[in-house]
């Protein structure tokens, strides 16, 4: 039998590793999960980390860990029944989401909701919700399961377009198709990187955007008598991506009042539709001259902290991880304050290595206002994100220069 969820005015938890402990089961134990785990532990929550491989980043700081395939419903159910968590907190998209729906029906609490995890696991679910049910502006798109459907989709959408497996993240399996010569390779790559033969692809019209941002949006229902559910926004985060994966991010990203209002409207609509509590990373493309009326396109949303939001570890009074933990634990959010302009720059592996070593850390930290986060991933392979450099500056430009300088000084062997 599941535990009863907290009632308003009744946030109760006890001591980790005792019968009274409030337990969080983290499904996914990467770099983002590690920060969620640390914030939860600071608030006296017991954390159990799960992932498909041993010694994943969050496992190194959690109270306990389990290694299992999170795409296997049976294994997921088993670990939930064994650990009896108060909160099931997805950290990756690739989960047995049908099992999460069953578990929720039995009374277990899935963050933000089991349906949100199902819709966002699959690009088709979230895209149809955003564009067809909510009427939000998106790139034009088609889905395809066979090569014939794929060619039809390309013909309808036109070139250039972006091809992605419906289930993937961090740009895996994603291609920009510029000319007819790129069409075959994009299909093959999407299938290689996707999961299994049931894979489908999305073909999206290429949006020639000016800026892309992540709008971190928090839905909170503080468990205090009389408190009302609220939506909070962090200042927008600008970012630069290569091959579908983020390379650097900065906060704030300067937007006109009108454009920011459009962004917030879209973020509110999609997060209200997904429901539940927690922090969401709403990805938006902004097109057009910043001095004129701009068009904002919804791209996708993570129902959890976002990689580009790692900058908030230095740039805000509360990081995206602390905000997530507060929201899901039923605690108030208070005022989100930007401290100074900040930036992040990723540290990627250049070679494959088991138990990689790092040099240049001392030199990196001579960069003013910089900090480093090395994730402790046990294995490296080319382009795997192994760490991130963070920096503050008087301006966003200065913070970006510093973060990149700091990241570039770290060498992995
Ligand atoms: N339709 C598009 N038009 C222009 N650029 C695009 C389009 N789709 C994706 N991109 C670019 O590729 C990046 C990654 O795309 P997307 O967010 O869909 O991939 P992802 O694999 O879900 O990545 P993540 O998991 O890191 O969010 C975007 O941030 C954007 O820079
Ligand atoms: N864009 C999604 C994202 O940033 N997810 C983050 O990367 C980890 C997987 O890293 P890995 O592929 O190196 O194991 C995930 O666990 C999560 O922390
Ligand atoms: Mg994305």
Residue with tokens 């006296």: 44
Encoded tokens for 357: 């070593």
Catalytic option among 51, 300, 322, 405: 300
- Asked if residue 169 has its Cβ within 6 Å of ligand 1, the reply is yes
Cα separation, 238 vs 308, in Å, equals 8
Task: Report residues whose beta carbon is within 6 angstroms of any ligand 2 atom.
Answer: 28, 30-33, 91-92, 169-170, 307, 377, 384-385
Omega before 160 within 30 of 0, i.e. cis? yes
Sign of CA dihedral 34, 313, 39, 96: negative
Of the CATH numbers 3.30.1490.20, 1.20.5.50, 3.40.50.2020, 3.40.640.10, which one belongs to the domain with range 140-205? 3.30.1490.20
Residue 148 phi, psi (nearest 5)? -65, -45
**Residue tagged 């962090």 (tokens):** 234
Known binder of ligand: residue 307?
yes
List the chain domain ranges. Answer: 23-110, 140-205, 211-412
Query: What pLDDT does 197 receive?
Result: 57
Query: From residue 197, how far is each of 74, 153, 173, 387 by CA, in Å?
Result: 21, 19, 14, 33
DSSP string, 284-334: EEEES-TTSPPEEEEEEEESS--GGGGGHHHHBSS-HHHHHHHHHTT----
Q: Specify whether the CB–CB gap between 159 and 178 falls below 8 A.
A: yes
Residue nearest (by alpha carbon) to ligand 2 atom 3: 307
Q: Where are the beta strands (DSSP E) in 71-228?
A: 87-90, 141-144, 161-165, 175-177, 201-205, 211-220
pLDDT at 224: 84
Q: Are 410 and 373 in contact (CB under 8 A)?
A: no
**Domain 23-110 in this protein, CATH class:** alpha beta
How far is 78 from 57, CA to CA, in rounded Å? 23
Place of tokens 């001591």: 15
- Say which CATH superfamily domain 211-412 falls into: ATP-grasp fold, B domain (3.30.470.20)
Q: Which atom of ligand 1 is nearest to the CA of 139?
A: 1
The answer to whether 212 is a known ligand-binding residue is yes
Q: How far apart are the first and last CA of the chain?
A: 49
**How does 334-373 read in b/e, with b if 16+ C-beta sit within 10 Å?**
eebeeebbbbbbbbbbeeebeebeeeeeeebeebebbbbb
Residue nearest (by alpha carbon) to ligand 2 atom 4: 307
Q: 256: helix, coil or strand?
A: coil
Which residue has its alpha carbon closest to ligand 1 atom 26? 170
User: 51 forms bridges with which residues in the sheet?
Assistant: 67
Tell whether residue 283 is among the known ligand binding residues.
yes
Q: Is 394 a catalytic residue?
A: no
- Note whether 286 and 212 are within 8 A (CB): yes
Question: What pLDDT, on the 0 to 100 scale, is given for residue 2?
Answer: 42
What are the percentages of helix, strand and coil residues in the chain, rounded to 5? 30, 30, 40
Tell me which ligand sits closest to the C-alpha of residue 162: 1
CA distance 208 to 402: 28
pLDDT of residue 3: 47
CA nearest to 228, candidates 12, 8, 7:
8
Confirm if 120 and 274 have CB atoms less than 8 A apart: yes
| Element of type H or E holding 371 | strand 370-374
Distance of alpha carbon 76 from the chain centroid: 21
Q: What is the pLDDT of residues 37-64, one digit of tens each?
A: 999 999 999 999 999 999 999 999 999 9
Main-chain dihedrals φ then ψ at residue 10, nearest 5 degrees: -145, 55
Cis peptide before 112 (omega within 30 of 0): yes
Q: CA 157 to CA 71: how far, in whole Å?
A: 32
Instruction: Give the integer Cα–Cα distance in Å for 195 and 221.
Output: 36
Question: Is there a shared CATH topology between the 140-205 domain and the 211-412 domain?
Answer: no
- Please list the pLDDT of the chain residue by residue as tens digits (413 residues): 344 444 545 567 789 999 999 999 999 999 999 999 999 999 999 999 999 999 999 999 999 999 999 999 999 999 999 999 999 999 999 999 999 999 999 999 999 999 999 999 999 999 999 999 999 999 999 999 999 999 999 999 999 999 999 999 999 999 999 999 999 999 999 988 866 556 899 999 999 999 999 999 999 998 888 887 899 999 999 999 999 999 999 999 999 999 999 999 999 999 999 999 999 999 999 999 999 999 999 999 999 999 999 999 999 999 999 999 999 999 999 999 999 999 999 999 999 999 999 999 999 999 999 999 999 999 999 999 999 999 999 999 999 999 999 999 999 99
Residues paired with 164 in a beta bridge:
202
pTM of the full predicted structure? 0.97
Tell me the CA–centroid distance for residue 169 and ligand 3, in Å.
7
- State the Cα–Cα distance between residues 411 and 408, nearest whole angstrom: 8
Total number of residues shown for the chain: 413
Asked if residue 151 belongs to a known ligand binding site, the reply is no
Separation of CA 372 from chain center = 20
Give the residue whose CA is nearest to atom 16 of ligand 2.
30
Residue 4 pLDDT:
45
State both tokens at 192.
């290689």
């Amino acid at each position: 039998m599941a535990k009863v969820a907290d009632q308003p005015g009744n946030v109760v938890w006890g001591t980790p590793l005792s019968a009274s402990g409030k337990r969080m089961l983290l499904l996914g134990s990467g770099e983002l999960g590690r920060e969620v785990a640390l914030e939860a532990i600071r608030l006296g929550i017991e954390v159990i980390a799960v992932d498909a491989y041993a010694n994943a980043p969050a496992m190194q700081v959690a109270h306990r860990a389990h290694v299992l395939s999170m795409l296997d419903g049976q294994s997921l159910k088993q670990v939930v029944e064994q650990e009896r968590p108060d909160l099931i907190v997805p950290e990756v998209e690739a989960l047995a989401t049908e099992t999460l729906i069953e578990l929720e029906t039995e009374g277990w609490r899935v963050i933000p909701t089991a349906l949100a995890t199902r819709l966002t696991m699959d690009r088709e679910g979230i895209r149809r919700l955003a564009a067809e049910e909510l009427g939000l502006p998106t790139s034009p798109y088609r889905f395809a399961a066979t090569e014939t459907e794929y060619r039809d989709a390309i013909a309808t959408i036109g070139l250039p377009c972006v091809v992605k497996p419906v289930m993937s993240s961090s740009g895996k399996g994603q291609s920009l198709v510029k000319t007819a010569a790129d069409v075959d390779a994009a299909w093959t790559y999407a299938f290689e990187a996707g999961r299994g033969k049931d894979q489908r692809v999305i073909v999206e019209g290429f949006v020639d955007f000016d800026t892309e941002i992540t709008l971190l949006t928090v839905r909170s229902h503080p468990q205090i008598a009389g408190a009302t559910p609220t939506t909070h926004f962090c200042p927008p985060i600008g970012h630069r991506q290569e091959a579908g994966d983020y390379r650097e991010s900065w906060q704030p990203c300067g937007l006109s009042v009108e454009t920011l209002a459009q962004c917030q409207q879209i973020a509110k609509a999609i997060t209200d539709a997904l429901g539940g509590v927690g922090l969401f990373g709403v990805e938006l493309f902004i097109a057009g001259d910043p001095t004129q009326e701009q068009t904002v396109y919804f791209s996708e949303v993570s129902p959890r902290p976002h990689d580009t939001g790692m900058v908030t570890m230095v740039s805000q009074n509360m990081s995206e991880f602390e905000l997530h933990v507060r929201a899901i634990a039923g605690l108030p959010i208070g005022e989100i304050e930007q401290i100074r302009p900040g930036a992040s720059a990723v540290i990627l592996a250049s070679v494959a290595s088991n138990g990689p070593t790092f040099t240049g850390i001392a030199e990196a930290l001579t960069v003013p206002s910089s900090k480093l986060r090395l994730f402790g991933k046990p294995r490296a392979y080319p382009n795997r994100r192994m760490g991130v450099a963070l920096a503050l500056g008087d301006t966003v430009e200065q913070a970006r220069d510093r973060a990149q300088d700091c990241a570039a000084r770290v060498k992995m062997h």
